[in-house]
Amino acid sequence: MLIKRAPMFKASEITDLKLYCNRREFMVGAAALALFPTVAAATSTPSGQPLKATRNPAFNNSDAATKFESATTYNNFYEFGVNKEDPARLAHTLRPRPWTVQVDGHVAKPKTYDVNDLLRLSPLEERVYALRCVEGWSMVIPWIGFPLASLLKRVEPTGQAKFVEFTTLLDPEQFPAQRKGLLNFSSLDWPYVEGLRLDEAMHPLTLLTVGMYGQVLPNQNGAPIRVVVPWKYGFKSAKSIVRIRLVSDQPKTAWEKAQPQEYGFYSNVNPMVDHPRWSQASERRIGEFLRRKTPMFNGYADQVGSLYAGMDLRKYF
């Protein structure tokens, strides 16, 4: 698979955020832009709508945030295609309003939530997390959301719940790469499914995410709701979620089914376990020229290392 690298930008070449958003609105038209409600509003609002959240200093990253334009134009979102520019180019087809998320499985109180309801469950907070992709590049992004644990506690997992399964929307009209014969990435079995162990899902770092950079989540970044698990490779952070199911058996995830020798269930960032086709010992931060050493668990070892005490991380990769 051809891996394209992001272009290097000079400061003078970075488009102003307001101009960038206005340009996209002009090109695709208001009717095709992503719609998402604020907490107080009952009607939908255009993509780029500000989303207020309080910065949580406990989860800050000391590195400079990646430029907004880089973070929204260099993405993996295979429902739109295999190239990094495909999500930004094609994401206007996604209609994130109206949107519901079904939460069920081994829970005492299953419920289907409207996105408005989810936003009211817990105060929104901004966290600056590093996101590392298995191809060897990384970004630092100010995400907006709330702990996934806040939602899971409300539905009351039963003793049978051991894992959490996430399912992305299946709709070829909105996701062109799901259409057979047209941009179809045939190695993946749609819908896209990801999963976490229950203790991973309940960890304070795991964020149910609805925004980034002070605004609602752009379509190409997983609108209207996604999960962010910062100590794992980026493909574990499921996008455009429509179902969260608590199960007793380990979910068979999309990439495990497609290429089990390359993508394990855990997929923790681990510089000592290489991908079969490239080293994971170093990474390149988007916007930087030089590579840097990859930290264990993407820099979150102190917070999550205890989750894997006694495990052989080469076997359970």
Question: Is residue 213 domain-resident?
Answer: yes
Compute CA 2 distance to the chain's CA centroid, rounded to the nearest angstrom. Answer: 22
- Read off the amino acid at residue 237: S
Number of domains composing the chain: 1
Question: Is residue 301 domain-resident?
Answer: yes
**What number is the average pLDDT over the span 239-266?**
96
Question: Is residue 173 domain-resident?
Answer: yes
pLDDT value at residue 140: 97
pLDDT value at residue 167: 98
Question: Is residue 189 domain-resident?
Answer: yes
The DSSP bridge partners found for residue 243 are: 102, 167
Is residue 4 helix, strand or coil?
Answer: coil
Give the lowest-confidence range in 8-22, 114-128, 155-169, 256-270: 8-22
pTM of the model: 0.84
How far apart CA 2 and CA 236 sit, in angstroms, is: 21
Residue 40 has pLDDT above 70, yes or no: no
Question: Is residue 198 domain-resident?
Answer: yes
pLDDT value at residue 186: 55
CATH number of the domain enclosing 240: 3.90.420.10
pLDDT value at residue 25: 37
Residue 22 has pLDDT above 80, yes or no: no
Question: Is residue 3 domain-resident?
Answer: no
pLDDT value at residue 304: 98
Residue 132's domain spans which residues? Answer: 11-308
Question: Is residue 86 domain-resident?
Answer: yes
Question: Is residue 315 domain-resident?
Answer: no
By the 10 Å C-beta count (0-12 exposed, 13-18 middle, 19+ buried), 16 is classed as exposed
The pLDDT-based confidence of 220 (bands split at 50, 70, 90) is very high
The set of residues, in sequence order, having a beta carbon less than 8 Å from that of 33 and lying 6+ positions away, is 24, 25, 46, 47, 48, 92
The pLDDT-based confidence of 4 (bands split at 50, 70, 90) is very low
Cβ count within 10 A of residue 45: 17
H-assigned helices in 179-253: 198-201
More confident residue, 261 or 6: 261
